[in-house]
Structures are given as structure tokens and as C-alpha cells.
Chains A and B, each alone.
Chain A
Amino acid sequence: MNKEEIIEALKTIVEPYSEEVSALAHIDENTDFINDLKINSANLVDIVLDIEEKFNIEIDNDSMAKMLTVKATTEIIVQKLEAHAG
């Protein structure tokens, strides 16, 4: 799965948590979950659960704390997928 495909999958995952229609439509690497998508910080743990399920990976607490933007999240997903494959 390449970066673009991961971002596309992430978009589907975060959609229910955000009411920012325009920010959602223009989601890219620089999108910040809290500042741009106005996602309730309590819901970040739910997004991580959805990501774990979608990509069949496990995300540790340290990685979770970093997952505040699309860029950081994508990097962590790539990393976990690679570790998984290896």
C-alpha cells in the first residue's frame, strides 16, 4: 500500500469524527486532526482503534501520542506495515 492509498483510507476513517466538510475534502499530508478537522481529542483513541482494524496492525502508546497529523499517522502506519511484512 503506497502513501496515497494510506491517506485515502485514512480519509474514510476520520470522516465520521469531523464535521469540517471543506477540510475533509482537502485532506492532505499537512492536515492536523485537531486544528484542521476539529476532531474532539477524546476521539483520537477511536481513530487509532479504527486504523488498527483497517490495516491489521498494532499501535503502541508512544506511536499513538504522535498521531496528531495525517503525515505523522501515515509514517507510523507505513512503519508498522513494514515491520509486519518483515
Chain B
Amino acid sequence: MGNRVVITGLGVCAPNGTTIREFSDAIKNGLSGIRHQPDLEALNFSCQIAGKPALSEERISQYFTPLELRNLNSTGIIYGVIAGLDAWNDAGLTIENNDEPDWDSGTIFGAGTSGIDKFRWAINKIDALEIKKLGSSVVIQTMASGVSAFISGKLGLGNQVSTNSSACATGAESILLAYERIKTGQATRMLAGSTSDSGPYIWGGFDAMKVCTFKHNHEPEKGSRPMSATASGFVPGSGAGALVLESLKSALTRKAKIYGEVLGGHINSGGQRGLGTMTAPNPSAVQRCIKTALKNAGIEAHEIDVINGHLTATTKDALEIENWKTALQLPDDDFPYINSLKGMIGHCIAASGSIECVASILELSEGFIFPNINCEDLSPEVAALIDAKCIPKTVIHKPFNILAKASFGFGDINAAIIFKKYTHE
């Protein structure tokens, strides 16, 4: 069976909230964090709106030493460290300055890329024949594992310290990897999460692929429209989400607050076979991922109360709902509630899964279902699949037990997790 794994701490750096309290209020009230971005407009982007966490220099300076701040030019590391340290603190854990590291605690903190602005600066220096000017800060900020390295140094982690990378499934995957590590007894506590840089150099490639919307530059908050008839592509976002996962035994021993339990999940790939390609999901793999996650979690489809979808606001939204429907085999009038956080914060790429899991855990522990914004004109393809009442447009306050979360990524990869409300026995 292995250890039961619970969530004891949360941290977030999202476009619509950079503390758990602010974020929780924002998602209940359907507050959008999407803003017009003058730099994207100046660079002739088609999509000139995006989601960025708002952080003051004063806030940032609480997490980094003056020396670290000197040449710090990696938004992803800033978001990840803030979310990670906040989650640690929220779990009631302290930062010890012992000689010995904390052998039982580790981190799996994912990223798509690291320090892209720093990387650009370094490349320009090299091309200008100023290689020496790079100094010592380029490698640590641009190595993919920069974020987990910064976090582990601050927390003194002595267990596995690693960065996973699986496109937009990164965040969900980090939680499942951390879960496995605790379940199998190799660690007592793992900080799971993921981060994604802000700015034109991370979002440019998506803009060029024409997967982002260009129709809402004049009305940023209306731009991200999952499940809407007028969805016309995703809005890029950025930020980080972090969760402290811990064995139930450890959480009970230290009388920690328990937000919820990770019952299990599954990670797979469609192999870019069948209908799957580099950028399109193989539906049979998505369905298999969801079904296997349920099996691993030991629950039946009808027990799911809420689905937190991937639902990016592209033409693939209806296909995703169809995949959930096929996988779950539930009657149309008894489908779980389904929502997408992307309406409020856009698609935070590598950070999407972890930020959305933080939202999911808040819903479970506080007993609410956040509203879907910008789908007042529900897509007819979606409406043909499930009852409109399953897609709440205003917040629902209601305790519930089980939430299913899935994230899908380029490379035809999938991750699904089953979370359960924790009730003291």
C-alpha cells in the first residue's frame, strides 16, 4: 500500500494573487489577472495581453539576499522561490540553519525553461565578445534546475532535489513524482510545484504558432475564454504554484494542518501515434490516463464531484470534455462540475498545473467551486456533450469530497491526479 500522502502547505504566485489569501479571494470572485502588456505591443505580438504576477521589489527582497538580487534576472526563479518558501512556511515548517541538511525533505520543482531574460543577456554579451562579463550568475539562473537549486539551498533540503519538465503537464507531474517519493517511503516531505518565466521571449514562440488569441487586445480581462463559443486561442500567463506533500503519519505527528489527500494519479503519453502529434493529444491516451488515475486512486467515476480541467480556450476544449466523458462513462445529467482557472489567469505554461492544483486544493479544503469566467456564451460543442449546469458561472459554496485534475502538454503527454478532502478520523 505504501504511505498515505497529504498536503500540508500551499504557496502561489499567480497573475491574480501572490499570497494564498489573495489568490483564494480572487478565484472565488472570478477576478482576472490578465492585463495589456506594453512590451508585447511594442514588439508587434499578435496577442498583446498576458498574465503576470504583481510583485513589489520589497516583497522580492524578503526572499533573496542582496547579493542574489544583484544580477537576478529570472522571473521563473523569483516566482518559484516565493511560492515554494510560502508553502513551506504555510505548512508550519521552519528554515533551520543547521550544518546537516534535512535528509527527509526534498523538492521536485518543475520548469519549462529557466531565466530566459538572463539567457538573452548572456547571449548578447557573448556575441559582443564580452564573455568575461558573464560573471558567476548565468549558469545558476539559466540551468533548467535553477529553481529547485535556489529553493533547496534556502530550505536546506537533503533528499531528492530535482526539476521535472514536461511542457504544460509539468506542474501536475511534479506533484505525482513527489507523491510517489513519499508513498514509497523514500522521503517524508516533498515540496512539489512548478514555475514559468514571464515575458516576450517565453511567449513569442506560442504567438508565432498562432495558438494565442489576438482578438481581445482592447479588453484583456475578456481575452481568456475556456469553453466559450468565442474562444479564439489561449492567453499566455506566468507564475508558480507550490504544495508541501507529506506522509500522513508525519503530518499527524507534528499536528500539521491538512488541506487534503493525494489519492493517486497517472502519467502517460499518446506516443504521437493515432490522432496524437507533437501538439495535439491522442484521445485514447488522455482517456486511459484519466481511467488509470481513478484506478490508482481506488475510486469510481461517480465519486468525482469536481473536475479541474486543462481547458485552455482553444478549439481543443470540446475534445477534452469529450475525453473526460468517454473516460468517466457517467450519465449526462450526473456529470461532475467542471471548471478552468485559465479564464482568470491565462495559460501559465509549465506553471499551469501547479497553480491550478493550488486552486483545486483550496476548493476542496474551503468547500467552494470557483466560477468559470468568460464562458457566458457556452460553446455549442461543449453544450452538446454535458449539461450547462455542470459549468458554474458563479461561485458555488458547497463542501465536496473528490476532485480530479488533469494537465496535458506538447509532446502528447498527460497527467491526472485525484485529490480528496481530508477528514480527521
Taking Cβ atoms with an 8 Å cutoff, the residues of A that contact B are: 16-17, 42-43, 45-46, 49
Cβ of A46 and Cβ of B136 under 8 Å apart? yes
- Compute how far the CA of A46 lies from the CA of B70 in the bound complex, rounded to whole angstroms: 11
In the assembled complex, B66 has its CB within 8 A of some CB on chain A: yes
Cβ–Cβ < 8 Å partners of B67 in chain A: 16-17, 43
Cβ–Cβ < 8 Å partners of A17 in chain B: 67
Q: What 9 A-B pairs have minimum CB-CB distances, sorted nearest first?
A: A42-B136, A46-B135, A16-B67, A46-B136, A45-B136, A49-B135, A45-B135, A43-B136, A16-B66
Cβ–Cβ < 8 Å partners of A49 in chain B: 132-133, 135
- Compute how far the CA of A46 lies from the CA of B136 in the bound complex, rounded to whole angstroms: 6
Residue of A nearest to B67 (CB): A16
Taking Cβ atoms with an 8 Å cutoff, the residues of B that contact A are: 66-67, 70, 132-133, 135-137
Of A16, A42, A45, which is within 8 A of B70 by CB?
Answer: A16
Cβ–Cβ < 8 Å partners of B133 in chain A: 49
Cβ–Cβ < 8 Å partners of B136 in chain A: 42-43, 45-46
> What are 15 contact pairs spanning A and B, CB under 8 A?
A16-B66, A16-B67, A16-B70, A17-B67, A42-B136, A43-B67, A43-B136, A45-B135, A45-B136, A46-B135, A46-B136, A46-B137, A49-B132, A49-B133, A49-B135
Measured between C-beta atoms, what is the minimum distance from B400 to chain A in Å? 49
Measured between C-beta atoms, what is the minimum distance from A67 to chain B in Å? 14
Cβ–Cβ < 8 Å partners of B137 in chain A: 46
Residue of A nearest to B69 (CB): A16
Cβ–Cβ < 8 Å partners of A42 in chain B: 136
- Compute how far the CA of A7 lies from the CA of B166 in the bound complex, rounded to whole angstroms: 51
Cβ–Cβ < 8 Å partners of B132 in chain A: 49
Cβ–Cβ < 8 Å partners of B70 in chain A: 16
- Compute how far the CA of A42 lies from the CA of B136 in the bound complex, rounded to whole angstroms: 6
Cβ–Cβ < 8 Å partners of A46 in chain B: 135-137
